Amino acid sequence: MNDNDTSQDTELVECSQCLKEIPLSEAKSSEGADYVAHFCGLECYDKWIKEKQDKED
Ligand SMILES: [Zn+2]
């Protein structure tokens, strides 16, 4: 078994909705054509998607 311990180089990303810093490994992500958005949880993901849809006509 290959036990990779990534705790020593945890990459942090910012939640695109609430701007909280979260480990990349725990982030939900949404990839668009020219962006990648990260989220701390599905709640933020849902909010972000809805706000984005509201802005787009
Ligand atoms: Zn968030």
Share of residues in the chain with pLDDT > 90 (%):
60
Confidence category of residue 22, pLDDT binned at 50, 70, 90 = very high
Q: What is the pLDDT of residue 4?
A: 66
Round to whole Å and give the CA distance between 45 and 53.
12
Round to whole Å and give the CA distance between 13 and 47.
18
Does 18 fall in a domain?
yes
Q: Which of 29, 33, 34 is nearest to 49 (CA)?
A: 29
Does 50 fall in a domain?
yes
pTM: 0.73
The rounded Å distance from CA 32 to ligand 1 centre is 18
Residue type, 50: K
The rounded Å distance from CA 47 to ligand 1 centre is 9
Does 21 fall in a domain?
yes
The rounded Å distance from CA 1 to ligand 1 centre is 34
Does 1 fall in a domain?
no
Domain that holds residue 36: 12-55
How many distinct structural domains can be found in the chain? 1
